[in-house]
Amino acid sequence: MSKKSKGPDDVVLYRRLLSKVRPFWTRLLWAMALMILVAGASSAMAYMVKPVMDDIFVAKDRAMLVMVPLAVIVLYAIKGTCSYGQTYLMQFVGQRIMTEFRVDLYAHLQKLSLSYYDRVPTGELMSRITNDVNNIQGAVSSVVTGVLKDLFTIFGLIFVILYRDWFLGMFAVGVFPLCVIPLVKFGRRLRKISRRSQETMADVSVLLHETISGARIVKGFCREDHEIARFSAEAERLFQLRMKDVSTRAISSPLMEFLGGLGIAGIIFYGGWQVINGHSTPGTFFSFLTALIMLYEPVKHLSNLNNDIQNGLASATRVYEVLDTPPQIVDKPQALTLPRLRQGIEFRDVSFAYRPGETVLNHINLNVPAGQLLALVGTSGGGKTTMVNLLPRFYEVSEGAVLIDGVDIRDCTLFSLRSQIAIVTQQTILFNDTVRNNIAYGRPEASEAEIVEAARAAYALDFIERLPSGFDTVIGEAGVLLSGGERQRLSIARAILADRPILILDEATSSLDTESELYVQKALENLMRGRTTLVIAHRLSTIQRADRILVMSEGRIAEEGRHEELLALQGLYSRLHRMQFAVDQGLEVGGVA
Ligand SMILES: Nc1ncnc2c1ncn2[C@@H]1O[C@H](COP(=O)(O)OP(=O)(O)O)[C@@H](O)[C@H]1O
Ligand SMILES: [Mg+2]
């Protein structure tokens, strides 16, 4: 962002953030009232130093000996109570706003189209929901809680200073800003260092994520030492930055104190001279000095505030960047509710490109009557997955139209469209939840009997019953480890239970070994029964009984027909078949009944 555009952008940003704060104005007013009391009590402490000195120590007044300590107790009690209430109210507002931000962001991410997820790395999005929202919170709470309390306290203390000795007070208050200059300077340097160490921290996280989740590869290629060296280099970089940070901080504080000491020495000389000459009392002098010393804290806070604000604004920009991205695929204003599929699916002259100019699908025409089994085969990268992803509108066609029962799917609600389709892919996605909830994911209201039936039809019942707690076993990272075939059968059970008329199988068995593939095949047979199915298969033997086979190549339908017809063509299909046959002979794959 250029310096020039920063101004108005910041104003817009402040305004948006403020609009988030507005609903909480009553709480904020209360908090402000409490802050004034806290600031008043702090200043009163400085004020009280004079009666302590002059009345108790110098004049030896016994009545004051009781009164003053009582007053101190009352002041501390007031200060403590108000400070608690003030912090609680302010944090309530800050935390509430952050929770809203988090939920808004998450809800928005759920609405964004898949093309957005293709573009932005997962880690990036996660860090916006966690780190950036935390940063905003830091800024909001330090601004709202800090600024006013510090300002009120500074006003109160300056009042005491001027009241005690206005001449010296003017001098001290005038000199004070000079002490702030080094603070600001150090602050800037610290910010630079801290930004760099944040970046290094991020690098370390990426490295950790890569090498921990890729532990198998690291070990397999014997690269442990290399990874250790890489990690220790990053850790060393972090060490250097941290030490720079520490030494800057460690210098700034003694330096500040030394400057403060110079000032205090001057004040002691002048003040002492006044007292010795009888122009002032020790109480006045110490009260003055106390107020001056107490000024240090709130002023230091205020000078650090800018760092927090800059951090928070940068993060807010990143958060709004996500929130302001409109979802590309949404319901039309008067979208239809698509009834359950009756006639069939049609691709009418469909072309598609992920990026403009890079055509992935080229004028595809296709009719799939309801109840048919259509198989898609072809070279890798030929556009098979892309084609089936157009059906649930994960991506929008660039040209042409996809129709269900003669209705353009862009005219239907996404909900009614997607609730007709079940998808089983190569990567099985199971959630960190019980087996039961994983199966019922697409139909949470399903009865126990239906869930068990779906598991049986998916050939999953046997192994589920062998799990430690059966259907209540939690699967996922911390839970039970399932084999690829077992995971796949659970996801098939999920699809069976969801009972959608259209089924998409995208290489559902390609990552499995022969034995589990056999079970999964049988489970798939049960799943496909009575549905309109688009199946992408790498293994030609599994699709020989398809009603129709499309051979895709470079975004076009190269060949089309039944197994025998395609073989007779002696084209791409028969070539793929010969290659597959050579592989299968080694594997001895049995046919599927
Ligand atoms: N999300 C994506 N963004 C950009 N290009 C993609 C994306 N997914 C696939 N492609 C490209 O589109 C082409 C077709 O891919 P795909 O449909 O996955 O082929 P297949 O499933 O037949 O192997 C490939 O060239 C691939 O690189
Ligand atoms: Mg694919």
* pLDDT tens, residue order, the chain (593 aa): 333 344 567 788 888 888 888 899 999 899 989 989 999 998 998 898 888 889 988 888 888 889 989 999 999 999 999 999 998 998 898 889 889 989 999 999 999 988 898 887 776 777 778 778 887 887 777 776 678 888 888 899 999 888 988 888 887 777 766 766 776 777 777 777 776 776 677 677 777 877 877 888 888 888 999 999 999 998 999 899 889 888 877 777 777 778 778 878 888 888 889 889 988 898 888 888 888 888 878 877 776 777 677 777 878 888 898 899 999 899 999 999 999 999 999 999 999 999 998 999 999 999 999 999 999 998 889 999 999 999 999 999 999 999 999 999 999 999 999 999 999 988 888 888 899 999 999 999 999 999 999 999 999 999 999 998 899 998 865 456 788 888 889 999 999 999 999 999 998 887 777 777 788 888 888 888 889 999 998 776 667 778 999 999 999 999 999 988 998 989 998 888 888 766 665 554 443 33
CA distance 393 to 390: 5
CA distance 100 to 24: 13
Q: Say if CB 367 and CB 346 are below 8 A apart.
A: yes
Residues with CB in 5 Å of ion ligand 2: 385
Residue 380 beta carbon below 6 angstroms from any ligand 1 atom: yes
- Quickly list H helices, 165-281: 166-213, 215-220, 224-276
Q: Is 412 exposed, middle or buried (0-12, 13-18, 19+ CB in 10 A)?
A: buried
CA distance 328 to 324: 12
CA distance 366 to 496: 26
Q: Which two tokens stand for residue 211?
A: 């090498």
- Ligand 2 center–CA 100 separation, angstroms: 38
SS3 of residue 231 by DSSP: helix
Task: Work out which ligand 1 atom sits closest to the CA atom of 118.
Answer: 1
Distance from chain centroid for Cα 175: 46
Instruction: Please report which ligand is nearest the Cα atom of 377.
Output: 1
- Ligand 2 center–CA 461 separation, angstroms: 29
- Ligand 1 center–CA 560 separation, angstroms: 21
- Cβ-Cβ contacts under 8 Å for 131 (sequence gap 6 or more): 315
Residue with CA closest to ligand 1 atom 6: 354
Q: Are strands 556-561 and 399-404 parallel, antiparallel or unpaired?
A: unpaired
CA distance 106 to 86: 30
- As a whole number of Å, the end-to-end CA separation of the chain is 64
Helix (H) or strand (E) holding 373: strand 373-378
- Cβ-Cβ contacts under 8 Å for 281 (sequence gap 6 or more): 50, 53, 54, 58, 275
CA distance 376 to 505: 10
Domains of the chain: residue spans and CATH: 9-323 (1.20.1560.10), 344-586 (3.40.50.300)
SS3 of residue 367 by DSSP: strand
pLDDT at position 453 is 95
* Encoded amino acid at 112, one letter: L
DSSP per position, 476-523: STTSB---HHHHHHHHHHHHHHHT-SEEEEESTTTTS-HHHHHHHHHH
Task: Work out which ligand 1 atom sits closest to the CA atom of 506.
Answer: 21
CA distance 259 to 263: 7
CA distance 114 to 97: 28
- Ligand 2 center–CA 343 separation, angstroms: 27
Instruction: Please report which ligand is nearest the Cα atom of 556.
Output: 1
- Ligand 1 center–CA 383 separation, angstroms: 6
pLDDT at position 231 is 92
Residue bearing tokens 């068995």: 509
Q: Which of 354, 362, 504 to mutate to test the pocket of ligand 1 (most atoms within 8 A of CB)?
A: 354
Whole-number Cα distances in Å, 386 to 352, 478, 557, 560, 561: 8, 34, 13, 18, 21
CA distance 16 to 22: 10
Backbone angles phi, psi at 338, to 5 degrees: -75, 125
Residue 359 beta carbon below 6 angstroms from any ligand 1 atom: no
pLDDT at position 535 is 93
Q: Which two tokens stand for residue 573?
A: 């299909």
Residue with CA closest to ligand 1 atom 3: 354
Q: Which of 398, 319, 405, 401 has its CA nearest to residue 361?
A: 398
Q: Say if CB 323 and CB 108 are below 8 A apart.
A: yes
Task: Work out which ligand 1 atom sits closest to the CA atom of 383.
Answer: 17
Q: Which of 157, 193, 187 has its CA nearest to residue 173?
A: 157
Task: Work out which ligand 1 atom sits closest to the CA atom of 378.
Answer: 22
Task: Work out which ligand 1 atom sits closest to the CA atom of 395.
Answer: 1
Q: Which of 230, 369, 283, 328 has its CA nearest to residue 53?
A: 283
- Cβ-Cβ contacts under 8 Å for 25 (sequence gap 6 or more): none
Count of positions (residues) in the chain: 593
Backbone angles phi, psi at 32, to 5 degrees: -65, -40
CA distance 76 to 71: 9
- Ligand 2 center–CA 403 separation, angstroms: 22
CA distance 208 to 254: 38
Q: Say if CB 451 and CB 411 are below 8 A apart.
A: no
**Positive/negative CA dihedral, 259, 263, 266, 268:** negative
Backbone angles phi, psi at 280, to 5 degrees: -150, 170
